[in-house]
Structure 1
Amino acid sequence: MSRPRKAEDPIRWPVPCNRCGQHHQTVAQWPDGGVCGYCYQQAKRTRGTCSCGHEGVLPGLIDNQPACRRCSGIRLNVDCRTCGAEDELHSGGRCWTCVLGNVVDDLLTDPATGSIANDLIPLEAALKSMKRANSGLTWICQKHVTAFLRNLAAAPRITHETFDELPDSRTREYVRGLLTEHGVLPQRDELCKRYDNWAAQTLERVKNPQNLDVIRRYIRWHHQRRMNHMDEVTRGTFLRAKQEVTVAIDLLNWLTDHDIKLPELQQSHLDIWQAEGPTTRQIAERFLKWAIKTKAAPPGLTIVPHRRGTSPRLAKPGQDEALKRVIHESGLETRDRAAAILILVFGQQAENIARVIWDDVTITEELVTIQLGTIQIALPDPLAQPWRELSANPGHDLTASHPNTNWVFRGASPGRHIHPGHLTTRLSKLFSTRAARLGTLHELTKLAPVAIIAETLGYSPTTIERHATDSAAAYAQYIAAAHEQRTRQTVRVPDGE
């Protein structure tokens, strides 16, 4: 990655660079003229095939086309003394890749044995083979990363339990992800494990020992049991489970403060507690149903549920404007365009978009299709173009994080898809993803039957039915308003009456 350029200074450097034409310090005189430091660096990193057939670094310019050193007459040392390849050199006459290899070998070698543990050999190979060696070297030479890898090299065993015992950090989880992605560690549902750790800590907030047993059973038999039966715990499930337990503990602690036991809970108590707090206390409805079912609370109690349909929706004109920006506005990344299309056209949730895999997408010269529910949906141009570009250049392929990934929207974590929250944040500069999604579903229910929309887009029929009901109600209100306006225009009151 080229470093950003400073503002040019014609007074200090009156002679412009022969290549870029800007006034920066001249660092080399080549046959085609003086070259500034920025163009000098770019020339060392220009690779390809010269017109003479030579493959490698092409620092020269002939007829405005890159050329090798021999053809252009440029004297430049780009020959690695270790591997002999033509490449930008890092230090000691060695290229970035060779320097990275030496650093990796040094850090992953156990000082007690003088060798690298068998379990770490796949990690060693992955780090040394990164396409962008300079980025890898920058990451690995950070003090905390260096220290972590040295400790890892001396570890007696490489297991998930070994990692769990280390201090929690982004480096720990990133290296764990690398080892998992490269087959050293088995796949593990990290969100499920994170919930287990969170639950163990949050139990300390419960004030009453009797309530502690209730919450422990609620966590184990309602949330953890459900998560253990899922193929992969989604972010939504993880966050909802945390919120439900948090609100349940809030209710039980309130009862303790008011010297009320859960088996003695009355409707009047619930009404007071709900009225005194934020609207999130409505979520306690789920805990209350579980408590009644398990006979931990008296029957017949209710909490005013969350009223659906109150979230704002992006109206049709706003949707059209947002889609126009996505298609035509320059400066947007390809994956943001592709994701935005799934929201604005098909009403998909960010969490589901993040989990799309290339097996769900078919790209040919004539057509691009994507499977969201049970049916392949064709994307017409220009909606198909961002998906073609993303297929050709999926990104995140220059490090060791995604050697064989099938995710369409790759994340920064090894082997993981993009975080849905991060995707939402990226798109927030264009529109509110929630409002846009709800607006799209609202409009789609006017165009097709509920069953078809649900099957096509992968939604439950109940969800689409609710949007259809809202849409029909809104349409009925429109008809009534239009009828009233026409009546007013038709019936005129005579003057003087």
Structure 2
Amino acid sequence: MRITLPLGPVCLSCCHQLRRNPIDCASCGHQRPQAGLDNRDQPICGPCSGEHRNWYCRSCGAIDLLVTTTDCLGCRNATRIDKLLICSHPQLRGQTEQVRALLLEMYSPQRTALLLESRRSWLTLLTELVTDNEQLTHASLDCRPQTGRTRYLRRLLIAIEVLPSRDNTVDDLDSWIDTLLADQPPHIAVVLQPYASWHVIHRLRRVRGNSPSAAKYARTRIRCATDFLHWLHARGTDLAQATQQDVDCWLDQGTTTRRRLRDFLTWTNKRELTTDLEVPWLGTDGLPGHVLDEHTRWQLLRRCLTDSALDLRLRVAGALVLLFGQNLTRIAALSAEDITTDGGDTYLSLRDHPVLLPPALAALIGDLAGQPLPTDDPRPTNTPTWLFPGRNATHLSPGRLAQLLGRDLGLDARAARGGALLALASDLPASVLADLLGLSISAALRWGALAARDQGVYLAARLDDHD
């Protein structure tokens, strides 16, 4: 047999690439990494290529690209994992067995090898916890710095049912607040601690099923209070001496996010820690500063519905923003269970009532729901079938979805949502708008008032033109 493309020496990265893309061998019919081409230019595997090297793993007998050892990648991974996760605690040993099964049975050998080679992954944090020889719990993770890898490891352990799920994000916020307060000087910590723990967290605990955006909003308010207190201290004053001029100056020096200080100053005023200081509402007075115009909105919507070169996830998410004014937090959390059909009609539950979808959008959502799930991700049986799946049985984060929409579609989700709501509010009563799109009645009334005002300005301008 003539080999026109011999494998020859292969580096580790090329080895990974060949493993990721196995071929159906033209000689034996098995799916294996390609080693060359036969005399008909058909791909063939290693044992069929005639190359004089060992293709069989010494430990398990599997056929693999053996570069520097006689063991396949999977067996080498297993040896390294057993060394990393060795422990004597019986309950911990049962937990590490579930992690071991994840890495060796659910993840591809290439992905596991990359995890083992990385130095700052969640696996490194896990080995640190195992070294302490204590059972894996939420409390043990709470004691660690709440970095990205800590949050990732927590989500993964919940996904493979090593840890129980948490109903909301309050426990995560508790540990975040403790870390924040530990870095503050006493005169700031003594004010921040009761505000964060007794006011912000207390309100969150009264709400069931807090979303990630609720935790983000809470962190923003606490950070604003922290930054303001540090700013006052740098100016040689304190909270009791703060004036309206101080507040206005601080607000003018930053973005509109600083208006989240309103909640903190309302709290301090009730406790007579400050005088009656005013902060404007954020995004609730008058027409929003940037609302997408109708022409651009319809152009983007047309692209979402017709541009097959665009990522299907972005086509669906963009259409739901542009057509129904949905926020990305709700869009990212949609699942296949939210889709229903009746005859030839397709409905999507955006809140309490299913919304009839236009045929073009219904077809896109059907295609998105029919996409295969990742095969190398832990996914318990009770996990929803997310339309926008992320890693470790979670859905894609709203922030990441916003980033992708802005980068690939040029869509500002906030402006697009405002344009859609303004258009819908001009055609629908506030009560219908609230029920249909999951808005509060006050928000629906406000959008209705804005739409009426916008139409009034337009009609007045038309009358002036005729005069």
TM-score of the superposed pair, with normalisation by structure 1: 0.75
- Residues 200/313 of structure 1: CA separation in 2 closer, same or farther (3 Å cut): same
Equivalences for residues 287-326 of structure 1 within 5 A: 287-294=264-271, 296=273, 302-306=278-282, 307-326=285-304
Match of 2:390 among 387, 402, 411: 411
1:108·1:116 contact (CA, 8 Å) conserved in 2? no
Q: 1:75: how far off?
A: 5.0
Q: Which moved more, 1:330-339 or 1:282-291?
A: 282-291
- Residues 98/323 of structure 1: CA separation in 2 closer, same or farther (3 Å cut): farther
The answer as to 2:108 corresponding to 1:132 is: yes
Q: How far apart, in 2, do the equivalents of 1:116 and 1:291 lie?
A: 46
Q: How far apart, in 2, do the equivalents of 1:362 and 1:50 lie?
A: 45
Q: How far apart, in 1, do the equivalents of 2:184 and 2:131 lie?
A: 40
The 3-state SS of whatever aligns with 1:143 is: coil
Match of 2:324 among 338, 342, 346: 346
Q: 1:336: how far off?
A: 1.9
1:206·1:253 contact (CA, 8 Å) conserved in 2? no
Q: How far apart, in 2, do the equivalents of 1:133 and 1:89 lie?
A: 13
2:329·2:398 contact (CA, 8 Å) conserved in 1? yes
Q: How far apart, in 1, do the equivalents of 2:101 and 2:393 lie?
A: 16
The 3-state SS of whatever aligns with 2:356 is: strand
Match of 1:233 among 199, 210, 227: 210
1:248·1:287 contact (CA, 8 Å) conserved in 2? yes
1:82·1:94 contact (CA, 8 Å) conserved in 2? yes
- Cross-structure match for 2:83: 106
The 3-state SS of whatever aligns with 1:369 is: strand
- Cross-structure match for 1:333: 311
Match of 1:122 among 65, 76, 98: 98
Percent of aligned positions with the same letter in both sequences?
25
2:145·2:179 contact (CA, 8 Å) conserved in 1? no
Q: Which moved more, 1:382-391 or 1:357-366?
A: 357-366
The answer as to 2:247 corresponding to 1:273 is: yes
User: Cα RMSD (Å) of the superposition?
Assistant: 4.1
- Cross-structure match for 2:456: 476
- Cross-structure match for 1:420: 398
- Cross-structure match for 1:362: 340
Q: 1:363: how far off?
A: 6.5
1:362·1:369 contact (CA, 8 Å) conserved in 2? yes
Q: 1:113: how far off?
A: 8.2
- Cross-structure match for 1:393: 371
Equivalences for residues 242-281 of structure 1 within 5 A: 242-249=219-226, 262=240, 269-271=243-245, 273-275=247-249, 277-278=251-252, 280=257
Q: How far apart, in 1, do the equivalents of 2:393 and 2:127 lie?
A: 23
The answer as to 2:430 corresponding to 1:450 is: yes
TM-score of the superposed pair, with normalisation by structure 2: 0.79
The number of residue pairs the alignment matches comes to: 446
Deviations 1:99-123 (A, max 9, x none): 433333332223x689981121111
- Cross-structure match for 1:461: 441
The answer as to 2:209 corresponding to 1:199 is: no
- Structure whose CA Rg is larger: 1
Letter of the structure 2 residue corresponding to residue 159 of structure 1: T
Unaligned ranges ≥5, structure 1: 1-27, 488-497
2:57·2:64 contact (CA, 8 Å) conserved in 1? yes
- Residues 192/171 of structure 1: CA separation in 2 closer, same or farther (3 Å cut): same
Q: How far apart, in 2, do the equivalents of 1:35 and 1:43 lie?
A: 16
Q: 1:239: how far off?
A: 3.0
Q: 1:166: how far off?
A: 3.8
2:25·2:45 contact (CA, 8 Å) conserved in 1? no
- Cross-structure match for 2:200: 223
Q: 1:343: how far off?
A: 0.9
- Cross-structure match for 1:5: none
Unaligned ranges ≥5, structure 2: 9-13
Q: How far apart, in 2, do the equivalents of 1:88 and 1:277 lie?
A: 61
Letter of the structure 1 residue corresponding to residue 117 of structure 2: C
Letter of the structure 2 residue corresponding to residue 290 of structure 1: W
- Residues 113/183 of structure 1: CA separation in 2 closer, same or farther (3 Å cut): closer
